[in-house]
Amino acid sequence: MQQVWIPRRGGPEVLEVRAAPDPACGVGEVLVDVAAAGINFADIMARMGLYPDAPPLPCVVGYEVAGVVRAVGAKVRGLRAGQRVVGLTRFGGYASVVAGPAEHFVPLPDAIDFETAAAIPVNYLTAWLMLRRQAAVREGERVLVHSAAGGVGQAAMQICRRVGAEVVASASAGKHARLREAGAVACIDSRDDDVVARVREVTDGRGVDVVLDPIGGASFQRSYACLAPMGRLCMFGASSFAPGTRRSIAAVLAGAVKMRRFSPVSLMNDNRGVFGLNLGHLWDEATVIRAIFQQIVDLVHEGSFAPVVDRAYAFEEAGEAHAYIQSRASFGKVVLRPSDGR
């Protein structure tokens, strides 16, 4: 099989394709020939040496794949060889063949192509868990979505549309037209020096009911200030720690110093809530996650959700894919495709 490795910490150019023996299919596992693998910002931070959950270098990252089951292990029920599937991997997803627990894979309808499928697991589960489980967003509420043009941002906008919530989208100005076409009622320039003031302007001074923030650092403070009474802040990343393509200790330290600490007394007095989400740390909640995962795939199949895939790159172009995402030019998901014919 082929795998994309991070041999050492560095820029996108360090990624390299290596050949390796196919993995074995263990008890309770499925062996999957991968047709597409999703790229997430956590993968990029792992390459830069900024993701503490990543395996020690050298390693293979990747949280999500779509493909065809080659074999099933003992005690697997509900999946069979030859079946199309989409699933979560605990790293190792940048590979043409993966083996993983069957409980983290769900059947993939024929109508959903593999590249689209690879854009589903991390993005939609992250957005769903924040909006539907943590923030319990309701019809008529306003949601500020930072990095709205990204994969999670696009999933969040579609979930908000389904429940009848209004989206205030934050992104670079060049993406605003597409975000309005996608349903945003207002757009904020993410490079504006006073995001809080802009949010107050477009909400007639009230603020928003929910904020989704993957930026971290000083952004958490600004996002909290954007909340209306009874508002909820959902934090799910720290992209501000990685402003360039290589690790900057100065950027990490600056982000850590500016990170808001939330006092229980202040939260009570402000009538606000704060949530955090790390999907990778929910790996052992497979029963709950799989039920939501299946529901999301069903909604994609029926047309309620439409994952946005910006570009697909071959494994040999993985460095270009990482660089493209870090250029902040992407809109939606970027995926990888194995190049060994599988």
Domains and CATH numbers, the chain: 2-120+307-337 (3.90.180.10), 123-279 (3.40.50.720)
Decide if pLDDT at 87 tops 90: yes
Nearest-angstrom CA–CA distance, 199 and 337: 39
What is the pLDDT averaged over residues 279-292?
96
Per-residue pLDDT at 191: 87
Decide if pLDDT at 245 tops 90: no
Residue in 240, 272, 303, 250 with CA at minimum distance from that of residue 112: 303
Is residue 101 within 8 Å of residue 26, measured between CB atoms?
no
Is residue 190 within 8 Å of residue 171, measured between CB atoms?
yes
Decide if pLDDT at 250 tops 80: no
Per-residue pLDDT at 196: 96
- The two tokens of residue 10 are 């560095």
What is the pLDDT averaged over residues 109-137?
98
CA 51 to chain centre: 14
Per-residue pLDDT at 155: 98
Nearest-angstrom CA–CA distance, 266 and 94: 43
Decide if pLDDT at 206 tops 50: yes
Residue in 9, 10, 36, 21 with CA at minimum distance from that of residue 315: 36
Nearest-angstrom CA–CA distance, 272 and 119: 32
Decide if pLDDT at 256 tops 90: no
The average confidence (pLDDT) of the chain is 95
Per-residue pLDDT at 28: 98
Nearest-angstrom CA–CA distance, 57 and 169: 36
Cα torsion 125, 127, 130, 132: sign = negative
pLDDT in tens, 153-195: 999 999 999 999 999 999 999 999 999 999 999 999 998 889 9
Q: Residue 168: helix, strand or coil by DSSP? A: strand
Per-residue pLDDT at 234: 98
Banded model confidence at residue 122, pLDDT cuts 50, 70, 90: very high
Amino acid, res. 200? R
For residue 95, give the DSSP letter: B
Decide if pLDDT at 340 tops 80: no
Residue in 224, 176, 173 with CA at minimum distance from that of residue 196: 224
Banded model confidence at residue 342, pLDDT cuts 50, 70, 90: very low
Decide if pLDDT at 241 tops 80: yes
Q: What is the dihedral of CA 79, 121, 300, 86, to 10 degrees?
A: -30
For residue 332, give the DSSP letter: B
Decide if pLDDT at 341 tops 80: no
Residue in 21, 125, 112 with CA at minimum distance from that of residue 67: 112
Is residue 88 within 8 Å of residue 129, measured between CB atoms?
no
Q: How many residues does the chain have?
A: 342
Residue in 183, 182, 138, 141 with CA at minimum distance from that of residue 163: 138
Per-residue pLDDT at 248: 79
What is the pLDDT averaged over residues 96-114?
98
Nearest-angstrom CA–CA distance, 308 and 229: 33
pLDDT in tens, 70-86: 999 999 999 999 999 99
Banded model confidence at residue 244, pLDDT cuts 50, 70, 90: confident
Nearest-angstrom CA–CA distance, 12 and 47: 8
Per-residue pLDDT at 253: 75
Per-residue pLDDT at 99: 98
Per-residue pLDDT at 164: 98
What is the pLDDT averaged over residues 46-56?
95
Is residue 139 within 8 Å of residue 170, measured between CB atoms?
no
Decide if pLDDT at 249 tops 80: no
pLDDT in tens, 134-148: 999 999 999 999 999
Nearest-angstrom CA–CA distance, 188 and 186: 7
Cα torsion 34, 2, 336, 101: sign = positive
Q: Which residue has the higher pLDDT, 200 or 245?
A: 200
Percentage of the chain exceeding pLDDT 90: 91
Is residue 27 within 8 Å of residue 309, measured between CB atoms?
no
Q: What is the dihedral of CA 264, 267, 272, 275, to 10 degrees?
A: -30
For residue 317, give the DSSP letter: G
